[in-house]
């Protein structure tokens, strides 16, 4: 059974993924627990750290934007919560193994939902 604080944190991250200042410390304060404790139960329940999960959500949304729009990579980076495009490019390549530009080219040749990844918390 997933801890209610983890379930609430997952919902918050899924809804407010682009919010500035979205940090483990600020979320843990909502529940009156330490960041260390929330981080520990989050990882135990999801298999991912808070930061990894937030990055996964942001990269998933970025992939949708890159596939479904003509937005520039810079605009996609800003829309998913990255002020610094270089940080976005680094995070995207680290998460997916290719650049956003390569992803956009590859996704253009795929059927509509072929590139979608299963959400880790849905398992």
Which of 23-27, 53-57, 108-112 has the least mean pLDDT? 108-112
Q: And the tokens for 110? A: 């795929």
In this prediction, residue 70 carries a pLDDT of 86
Which of 10-24, 79-93, 99-113 has the least mean pLDDT? 99-113
Please tell me which residue, 21 or 48, carries the higher pLDDT value: 48
Q: And the tokens for 26? A: 């600020």
For helices 85-96 and 100-108, angle between their N-to-C axes, nearest 10 degrees: 60
As a whole number, mean pLDDT of residues 16-42 equals 94
Nearest to 108 by CA among 78, 75, 63, 72: 63
Distance of alpha carbon 92 from its chain centroid, rounded?
10
DSSP string, 17-79: TT-TT--HHHHHHHHTS-HHHHHHHHHHHHSS-HHHHHHHHHHHHHHHHHHH----HHHHHHH
Distance in Å from the first CA to the final CA of the chain = 13
């Amino acid at each position: 059974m997933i801890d209610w604080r983890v379930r609430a944190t997952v919902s918050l991250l899924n809804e407010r993924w682009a919010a500035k200042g979205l940090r483990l410390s600020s979320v843990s304060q909502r529940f009156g627990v330490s960041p260390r404790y929330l981080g520990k139960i989050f990882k135990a329940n999801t298999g991912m750290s808070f930061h990894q999960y937030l990055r996964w959500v942001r990269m998933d949304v970025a992939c949708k934007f890159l596939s479904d729009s003509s937005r520039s990579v810079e605009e996609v980076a800003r829309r998913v919560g990255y002020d610094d495009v270089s940080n976005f490019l680094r995070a995207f390549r680290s998460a997916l193994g290719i650049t956003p530009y390569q992803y956009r080219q590859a996704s253009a040749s795929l059927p509509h939902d072929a590139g979608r990844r299963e959400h880790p918390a849905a398992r």
